[in-house]
Amino acid sequence: MKKHLFTVFALLSLSIACTTDSDKIDPAIQSNVPTDVTGKWMWGTFSLSNFWGYDGSYQGKPFEQAFVLDFKPNGEFEEYVINSASSYNCRTEAFTYFKGKVKFNEDQQSFTLTPQSGNYRGFYSCYPKNNFKRDAKAGELKTATFYYDIVTSQGQKQMVLRDSPNDAQGMTMKWSN
C-alpha cells in the first residue's frame, strides 16, 4: 500500500512539476483580449501606379506599406510592419516582426504592447550585400500604448487606433480572420 501511495504522489508531483507556465497570464503586462478585439487587424496602402520592365515584365508598385496586429485571446500579440519602395529599377523592402504580451484597459479604451522578441529584415535588390536579417535588440523591444475604438463602417468591423485618448485622427484598421 505504501508503494502505491508513494507512486501516486511521485506521479502527481511529476505532473505538477512538468506543467508549463505558457498559459498563465502575467497581470503586470497581460490580460485576456476582449472578444470584439480578438483576431487580426490590418491597415495598408499602395500606389495606384505600376512599374514594368523594358521586356514587359511586371516590376512591382512604386510604394507599399502594411501594418498588422494579431491579438490572441490569451493576451499575446504579433505585430507585422512591411514597407517597400521601388526607384530606378531598384527595390527596397523592410520587414519588422514583434511578438509579446498585450494588456487591455477597457475603461480607457487602450492597450499596451510589451514585445518580448522580434526581428528585422532588409532587402535591397540593387545592393544585395546590404541585405540583412537580425533579431531585435533589448533596447528595441519598447512598450507602446495605443487608444482604440471599435466601429462598423459599410458593414465591416474596424478599429480606429490612436496615439493619445484625445487624438482627433487615427489609423483605421480592418478586421480579418
Summarize pLDDT for 34-46 with one digit per residue, the tens: 899 999 999 998 8
- Residue 153: CA count within 13 A, CB half-sphere: 10
Which pLDDT tens digit goes with each residue over 5-49? 333 344 334 343 444 445 566 777 888 898 999 999 999 988 888
Residue 14 lies in a domain: no
Query: Per-residue pLDDT tens for 87-96?
Result: 887 889 999 9
Q: Report yes or no on 74 lying in a domain.
A: yes
In a domain, 93, yes or no: yes
Q: What is the pTM of this model?
A: 0.78
pLDDT of residue 177: 72
In a domain, 158, yes or no: no
- Tell me if 157 is assigned to some domain: no
Residue 151 CA to residue 153 CA, distance in Å, equals 7
Residues of the domain holding 106: 25-145
Please check whether residue 173 lies inside any domain of the structure: no
C-alpha 148/C-alpha 2 separation (Å) is: 60
| Total domains present in the chain | 1
The reply to whether 44 falls in a domain is yes
Q: Is residue 80 part of a domain?
A: yes
